[in-house]
Structure 1
Amino acid sequence: MNAPAAATHQLESDLEIAKELFETIAERTSDVQGVSRPAYSKIETETLAFLKSFAEAAGLAVWEDAGCNANFALQADKMADRFVVVGSHVDSVPFGGNFDGLAGVVAGLLCLLRAKRDRVQFRKPVHVLALRGEESAWFGPCYIGSKALTGSLTPSELAARHSGDDRELAEHMIDTGIDMDKVRAGLPLVDLSRIEAYLELHIEQGPLLIGRDLPVATVSGIRGNIRHRQVVCIGEAGHSGAVPRAYRKDPVLAMADLFVRLDESWQTILNKGDDLVLTSGIVSTDPEKHAISRIPDSVSFSLDIRSQSAKTLDEMHQLLAAEMRQVEKDRGVKFKLDTEMRVEPARCDQEMVSGLLSAMDRAGEEPFVMPSGGGHDAAVFASAGVPSAMIFVRNANGSHNPQEAMDLSDFIAATNVMYEYLMRDS
């Protein structure tokens, strides 16, 4: 078989494998809309089991780490003293898209299978990691699996309760089979000194690559965040027609005041050239008590504040407290915050970024660097001192929804970049 024909055959083989894996897992984890693979659930465990059985049948080394994540490697590389980790997560948000997280795991498996098929060795041994529990939708904390591996999961995060059954995260982790002694002690579940680098492929969760008509990019850095799963503004109930404005303690209007103030500060920060995004994705009054003719006594909402600057996050933490105090004074209400969850911003390793740009060029793709608006497990590894980097794949319609639209040809293009990097630059 000549070189062009071999390359075409390889492309077809990779496309077929990727298509089979994506479609089978989507079918196994389908929901009313999209897919639902809850963190630390039976469905997540079954997804990992399917990937392990596929990899074993393909002749790869397969094992489970102390965090009950799945690991894969070439047989010769399983016991390597030091290695590069290629990883991402298999859980999803409720009614989510199939590619968020899973694409990175499948790309890593394709790289292993290609090296095995071609009977070649990576520049450094490669372990592919299929992580549990990256999404915050189920418990509130994000990056649970990678935090557990790196010894950075906090007691308050372990006490976070599931959005469905209200049981603590720690209970769900025990049910999964994890020995919690090290996790509770804040000790890593893996020897971090053996990890040369961490590389993660992920769908882009915004429109930049679509707008620039590019299939792939490397990432410069990952936003950190401050999150509150539930902030409650407590006011005073009353009749909607009988209480004049001057006598009202309306928590909904107080919340609106707070949002307007935060939005104005957001614009000011952007005008200064700093990075910030702010979202409140959950807003509700008590469905058992609210009525169209009733001033509610309380309203609850979430807050998600993200920036590539730790200084900006610090400033927003202080600003939030100050603005709440002022609104409390103006409106006669009281804000109650749950425990703040924070993840620090992470800069991608510059040597890895340079290597990925070279790999993009060799793979026939236009070298392009962009920041990541969403958070990823790579940020946790970077914070733990592991050199980390990311590859983004073009993806229409955003993520965290069933309309994720990653084209498989783009996915293969990004996988080719990863393979080039692992063969020559890692």
Structure 2
Amino acid sequence: MTVQVRTVDAGSADDAAMAARLFEDIAKMSPDTEGVSRPAYSEIETKVLKYLEDFAVENGLEVWYDACCNANFCLPGDRDAEGVVVVGSHADSVPAGGNFDGLAGIVAGLVCLVRARRSGAALARPVHVLAMRGEESAWFGPCYIGSKALTGTLSEADLAACHSGDGRPLSDHMADVGVPVERLRAGEPMIDLSRIEAYIELHIEQGPVLIGKDLPAAVVSGIRGNIRHRTIRCVGEAGHSGAVPRAFRRDSVLAMADLLTRLDEHWVTILAKGNDLVLTCGMVGTDPDKHAMSRIPDEVSFSLDMRSLSPTTLDEMRKLLASEIRQVERDRKVRFELDREMRVEPALCDPDLVARLTRAMESAAQEGFVMPSGAGHDAAVFAGAGIPTAMVFVRNRNGSHNPHEAMELDDFMAATEIIYQFLTGAS
């Protein structure tokens, strides 16, 4: 996968070339039939972290691995600093995904460290760059696994979640790479959170706002929380497609469609009231061993993802989901079975950090622009742990979680410049 390059207008040409090489080398290490795949807690993810380790050592940085087997980087002498600013993101990707989701945040942090070391610039505070494992939910179901493990908030249910491919639990995969799972079960934070003065994450935007605004970067004001079900089953009754009248049908697919239509109508109402909500059903399927064109489906499974910046709206959607399920069950004579609810609370970015990053944008001769994040990020977990948190978005065409991510190098360098200005105290 090649980084799209126009003219680099922020940062040095050397920094841009270094970033491009990192992106391209890592893409070559993790190819899929389309795009890239870096499964959480896999050999590929380990290989990527080792590559980043070698790069950091070659450029005079200190490197170490924390108890969760994430890679950490800093300038010489800053590893044991009493208080640090952490710049981080995740190294894994979704299956057949894009190369920049997560990785861009790690590369940005490394570019800042190498630039400071090369130029002799003083950072305002010691900086640790964190390359985390396991953020994407595609592999096990739970999201933010790596950051929840670090903060001591990974639940037993999370650890028991099974891999989408081999069916083994997350706990086994984490143990395979050397994570002390029993400490996670005890709810023990795996790093000293009191040392983290701020957590900053650069990430590609996963929507079209910056494209529409024609801006290379933005500061993030907050991160949507979510309520998610990986698998909801609707159970009805099979029958012949031509022989069973509507009144006698217990069609699971039409029942699912009815439920989703009702939720969509609530979505419209909530938006009309000025509240924030997005709703997605990303996986749908009947039993491939039984489904047929001439068969009324007796069972369908689907996922549900409801997100909002408001905890109250999430609570309201949970109640509406339960109410509408009861109604559809009565109307269509079916049964819904929900798996364990996965919830992450919305997170507001620290107002002082948002203001300082906005000033850093202006120091970098960019228009100060602040926007919310519709997608979730590890930053939400650090914010939930009481750590002042902020984010910077990079313009990116074609969305994310697909192989067609199109972040341009000059935009990446512009966003990285914001963080560098912040870290050197210009803001």
User: CA offsets, 1:332-388, max 9 Å, x none?
Assistant: 000000000000000000000000010000001000000000000000000000000
One-letter amino acid of the structure 1 residue matched with residue 161 of structure 2: A
Please tell me whether the aligned partners of residues 91 and 134 of structure 1 are also in contact (alpha carbons under 8 angstroms). yes
Tell me what 1:233 maps to: 234
- For residue 139 of structure 2, what is the amino acid of its counterpart? W
Matched, 1:115 2:127: no
Conserved? CA contact 1:202–1:393, under 8 Å: yes
CA offset digits 1:100-124 (Å, max 9, x no partner): 0000000000000011011122101
Measured in 1, the distance between the counterparts of 2:111 and 2:126 equals: 15
Alignment partner, residue 267 of structure 1: 268
Determine the structure 2 residue equivalent to 1:51. 52
Contact 2:241/2:295 (<8 A) preserved: yes
Deviations 1:289-341 (A, max 9, x none): 00000001100000000000000001101110010000000000000000000
The structural deviation recorded for 1:10 is: 5.8
Separation in structure 2 between the aligned mates of residue 119 and residue 181 of structure 1, nearest angstrom: 42
2 CA distance for matches of 1:85 and 1:180?
24
* Pair 234,212 (structure 1): closer, same or farther in 2 beyond 3 Å: same
Matched with 1:4 is: none
Q: Which residue of 2 aligns with 1:3?
A: none
Give the distance between the partners of 1:82 and 1:67, measured in 2 at CA: 20
- Identical residues among aligned pairs (%): 66
Q: Is the 8 A contact 1:356 1:425 kept in 2?
A: no
Give me the whole-angstrom Cα distance separating, in 2, the residues matched to 1:375 and 1:9. 27
State how far apart, in whole Å, the 1-side matches of 2:300 and 2:350 are. Answer: 42
Residue 394 of structure 1: CA displacement? 0.4
Query: Unaligned 5+ residue runs, structure 2?
Result: 1-7
Letter in 1 for 2:131: A
Partner of 2:390: 389
Paired residue for 1:293? 294
Tell me the secondary structure at the aligned position of residue 87 of structure 1: strand
Cα–Cα, structure 1 residues 344 and 425, in superposed 2: closer, same or farther, change >3 Å? farther
Residue of structure 2 equivalent to 1:254: 255
* Aligned residue type for 2:157: S
Query: How far has the Cα of 1:85 moved from its partner?
Result: 0.3
Query: Does the aligned pair in 1 maintain the 2:227–2:314 contact within 8 Å?
Result: yes
1:377–1:425 CA distance, 2 compared to 1 (3 A): farther
2:276 alignment partner, SS class: coil
The CA deviation string for residues 230-272 of structure 1, in whole angstroms up to 9 with x for no partner, is 0000000000011111111111110011011000000000000
Moved over 3 A (4+): 7-10
- Other structure's SS at 1:232 match: strand
Distance in 2 between residues matched to 1:56 and 1:8, nearest whole Å: 28
What aligned pairs does 1:305-320 form with structure 2 within 5 A after superposition?
Answer: 305-320=306-321
Q: Which residue of 2 aligns with 1:88?
A: 89
The 2-side partners of 1:340 and 1:81 are apart by: 38
Structure 2 counterpart SS, 1:196 = strand
Query: Normalising to structure 1: TM-score of the pair?
Result: 0.97
> Which secondary structure does the structure 2 equivalent of 1:275 belong to?
coil
Any idea what SS the aligned residue of 2:77 has?
helix
In the other structure, the counterpart of 1:303 is: 304
Partner residue, 1:106 = 107
How far is the alpha carbon of 1:425 from its aligned partner? Answer: 5.9
TM-score by length of 2: 0.97
TM-fit CA distance, 1:78: 1.1
- Return the letter of the residue paired with 2:405: E
Cα shift at 1:9: 11
**For 2:295 and 2:182, how far apart are their aligned partners in 1?**
50
- 1:278 corresponds to: 279
Q: Which residue of 2 aligns with 1:351?
A: 352
